[in-house]
């Protein structure tokens, strides 16, 4: 599969072929501009490849019509470096918002949201606003929001990029726990510490090509 952005001199991802099994935990590593983030965008159907196919949850999303995208995304959770929480809503409301905008009732939210907040270790802090929470806690809210809909896949784009090493490890423990429930976790990072500790499958990308694909790998 190849992805070239318009006006780019070389492809962002060049003839890349990767298969990730259900329930796997995969790191994509590589220097900035290597094409890691393009992988996340392809999986979210934010961009489409110029050549080849992208298949997610046994659905070919290469030629998926854009009006089908919203429904497709409900099976994918997403976490980012900058958390992307709504500043004027509490932890509870941030998570509930993700449910309500896809048509779940308030009753469902009342049942599910405290559960998932408990799971990410924020029991008792439901009614704090993002600015009243630490960075690690904010990322926990983001993880809760990504996971509340029980997605098949969790995409994490440098989720520890803004966190100190100790907090990062706590977030990784959380992602590991989510992975153990059967959710596939795809994480883009250049945090060597974490990759080395986790010992999961590592795919290294450089200049748009896969240079290493190693089970139980290290940062290298």
Partner 1 sequence: MRVKYVLSEVLVGLWRNVTMTIAMIITMAVSLTMLGASGLIYTKVADMKDLYFERIEVSIFLEKDVSEQQRTDIAAKLDSDPLIRDVTYVNKDEAYKRFQEMFRDSPDLLSVVKADQLPESYRLKLVNPAEYKAVSDQYSTIEGVDQVVDQSRVLDKIFNLFTAGQNIALVAAIAMAIAALLLVANTIQVAAYSKRREVAVMKLVGASNWFIQAPFVLEAVVAGLIGSVVGLIALIGLKQFLFDGALSTLQGLFAPVTWGEVFLTFPVMAGVGGLISAVTAWVTLRFYLRV
- Work out how close the CB of 197 gets to partner 1 at its nearest, in angstroms, rounded to a whole number: 28
Provide the CA 197 distance to its chain's centre, in angstroms.
19
Query: Strand pairing partners for 51?
Result: 2
Single out the segment in contact with partner 1 by CB under 8 A; choices: 7-15, 71-79, 171-179, 185-193. Answer: 71-79
Query: What number of chain residues touch partner 1 (CB under 8 A)?
Result: 23
- Work out how close the CB of 115 gets to partner 1 at its nearest, in angstroms, rounded to a whole number: 17
If you write DSSP's letter for every residue of 21-62 in order, what string do you get?
-TT-EEEEE-STTSSHHHHHHHHTTSS--SBS--EETTEE-T
Residue 100 binds to partner 1 (criterion: CB under 8 A): yes
- Work out how close the CB of 36 gets to partner 1 at its nearest, in angstroms, rounded to a whole number: 18
- Specify the DSSP class assigned to residue 160: T
Strands 59-60 and 76-80: unpaired
Q: Which residues contact 214 (CB under 8 A, 6 or more apart)?
A: 201, 202, 203
Single out the segment in contact with partner 1 by CB under 8 A; choices: 102-110, 120-128, 171-179, 199-207. Answer: 102-110
- Work out how close the CB of 82 gets to partner 1 at its nearest, in angstroms, rounded to a whole number: 11
Single out the segment in contact with partner 1 by CB under 8 A; choices: 33-41, 92-100, 162-170, 198-206. Answer: 92-100
Best CA proximity match to 173, nearest among 182, 155, 160, 162: 160
Identify the residue among 64, 86, 152, 218 touching partner 1 (CB under 8 A): 86
Burial annotation 31-53 (CB, 10 A radius, 16+ → b, else e) = eeebbbebbbebbbbeeebeeee
CA distance 61 to 188: 20
Q: Which of residues 109-168 bind partner 1 (CB under 8 A)?
A: 145, 149
Q: Which of residues 36-55 bind partner 1 (CB under 8 A)?
A: 44
- Work out how close the CB of 73 gets to partner 1 at its nearest, in angstroms, rounded to a whole number: 3
Binding-residue pattern over the window 177 to 216 for partner 1, x denoting contact by CB under 8 A? ----------------------------------------
Identify the residue among 26, 56, 78, 120 touching partner 1 (CB under 8 A): 78
Identify the residue among 6, 9, 101, 124 touching partner 1 (CB under 8 A): 101
* Phi, psi dihedral angles at 179 (to 5 degrees): -60, -35
How far, in Å, are 14, 19, 61, 129 from residue 2 at the CA level?
5, 15, 14, 42
Q: Return residues touching partner 1 (CB under 8 A).
A: 44, 67, 69-74, 76, 78, 84, 86-87, 97-98, 100-103, 105-106, 145, 149
């Amino acid at each position: 599969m190849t992805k070239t952005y318009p006006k780019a001199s070389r492809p962002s991802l060049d003839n890349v072929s990767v298969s990730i099994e259900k329930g796997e935990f995969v790191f994509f590593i590589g220097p900035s501009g290597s094409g890691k983030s393009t992988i996340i965008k392809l999986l979210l159907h934010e961009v489409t490849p110029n050549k080849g196919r992208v298949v997610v949850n046994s659905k070919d999303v290469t030629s998926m019509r854009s009006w089908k995208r919203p429904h497709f995304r409900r099976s994918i959770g997403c976490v980012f470096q900058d958390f992307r929480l709504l500043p004027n809503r509490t932890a509870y409301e941030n998570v509930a918002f993700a449910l309500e905008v896809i048509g779940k009732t308030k009753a469902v939210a009342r049942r599910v949201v405290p559960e998932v907040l408990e799971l990410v270790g924020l029991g008792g802090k439901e009614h704090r606003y993002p600015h009243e929470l630490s960075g690690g806690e904010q990322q926990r809210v983001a993880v809760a929001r990504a996971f509340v809909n029980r997605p098949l896949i969790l995409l994490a784009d440098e989720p520890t990029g803004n966190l100190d090493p100790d907090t990062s490890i706590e977030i990784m423990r959380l992602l590991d726990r989510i992975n153990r429930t059967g959710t596939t976790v795809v994480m883009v990072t250049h945090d060597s510490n974490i990759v080395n500790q986790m010992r999961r499958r590592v795919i290294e990308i450089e200049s748009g090509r896969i240079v290493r694909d190693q089970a139980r790998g290290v940062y290298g």
